[in-house]
Amino acid sequence: MTNILVTGGAGYIGSHACKTLAAAGYTPITYDNLSTGWQEAVKFGPFEQGDLTDRTRLDQIFAAYQPVAVMHFAALSQVGESMSNPGLYWHNNVAGSLCLMQAAVAAGCLDLVFSSTCATYGNQDNVVLDESCAQHPINAYGASKRAIEDILRDFEAAHGLRHVIFRYFNVAGADPAAEIGEFHQPETHLIPLILDAIEGKRDALTIFGTDYDTPDGTCIRDYVHVCDLVDAHLLGLKWLEESKGSRAFNLGTGTGFSVREVIDQSATVSNRTVPVIEGPRRAGDCTRLVSGSTRATKELGWQPKRSTLRQMIGDALRWHQTGHYDK
């Protein structure tokens, strides 16, 4: 079987990618320091614990498994934390990714699929966010991801490191079989926070900002199901296998939902009341982030199948009720 090194494979998106890779006949090799991931999520291939900044450990992993490609998910991703502690994000995300690329090149592993973010675009209200848009991140998280994209381009020019960059919009949902799912400590994502509030695991959901220039005053985001997202990564891997060249793709549905709309739909799907309190805006939050790109559909043949709000909430609820790693 063909080995794929999956950094961050014990995390939310990485573990779903490992399941999809295994189903497609690959062997995913999870490399994770477990700072935000869960060893219980590693069910589909070997697990190797280690940090991205540990070059010696990375060299050992490349030598032992000889992966043909890397799927790079490992990163810190909390916007608020990146605003208060930017050095942590530049060290972990950028320096770690640089170390990974150097190890990959040294090992002759020259195909890399990179987990980037729509946060690289910054706050561009009333702009259709496609891959041609200028990247002006307004927080250190988005800036660190943009920097990694720049490094990838330099490494391609100097070393032939081919890459596919995926700029995610808001990832949601869970494995429909509830075998793996989303669980962070602390939790920062909207849908699991809503489900915690519904189940009484927190007193209420806080809406951060109700005075944005949107129809109901709350931020608008484009949500994509995690299973649809990792399907795109498999297509990106095949794109590189077919030597089609390096490329960046947005991954979103083109439809935006406000925080209040997600709350209302969660109440409908769960048939429960969502306790809510209103708070001030958070630093670094954009008003509206919605993908206008069709590049992934046209060039990769990507078709989101589960990315309706009802489906994403329903799958997340099923996981929430049955699959937490802390149980």
Q: What is the pLDDT of residue 251?
A: 96
| Predicted structure pTM score | 0.94
What integer is the mean pLDDT of 242-255? 95
Burial 57-74 (b: 16+ CB within 10 A, else e): bbeebbeebebbbbbbbb
Q: What radius of gyration do the chain's Cα atoms show?
A: 19
Q: Is the pLDDT of residue 196 over 90?
A: yes
Q: Judge if the upstream peptide bond of residue 186 is cis by omega within 30 degrees of 0.
A: yes
Percent of the chain with pLDDT over 70: 98
* List 26, 141, 168, 212, catalytic entry: 141
Q: What is the pLDDT of residue 289?
A: 83
Write the pLDDT tens digit of every residue in 13-68: 999 999 999 999 999 999 999 998 999 999 999 999 999 999 999 999 999 999 99
Write the pLDDT tens digit of every residue in 84-101: 899 999 999 999 999 999
Write the pLDDT tens digit of every residue in 114-128: 999 999 998 876 677
Max CA separation in the chain (angstroms)? 56
Q: Is the pLDDT of residue 326 over 90?
A: no
Q: Is the pLDDT of residue 292 over 90?
A: no
Q: pLDDT-derived band of residue 163, with 50, 70 and 90 as boundaries?
A: very high
Q: What is the pLDDT of residue 316?
A: 96
Q: pLDDT-derived band of residue 287, with 50, 70 and 90 as boundaries?
A: confident
Domain annotation for the chain: domains and CATH numbers: 2-172+224-251 (3.40.50.720), 190-221+254-322 (3.90.25.10)
* Average pLDDT, rounded, for the chain: 94
Cα dihedral across residues 9, 284, 200, 203: positive or negative: positive
Smallest Cα–Cα separation from 217: which of 260, 267, 172, 162? 260
What integer is the mean pLDDT of 219-247? 96
Gap between the Cα atoms of 34 and 54, Å rounded = 14
Q: What is the pLDDT of residue 225?
A: 97
Q: What is the pLDDT of residue 187?
A: 83
What integer is the mean pLDDT of 217-222? 94
Q: What is the pLDDT of residue 126?
A: 64
Q: What is the pLDDT of residue 5?
A: 98
What integer is the mean pLDDT of 291-295? 88
Q: Is the pLDDT of residue 80 over 60?
A: yes
Residue 151 has a CB neighbour count (10 Å cut-off) of: 17
| Residue 141 appears among annotated catalytic residues | yes
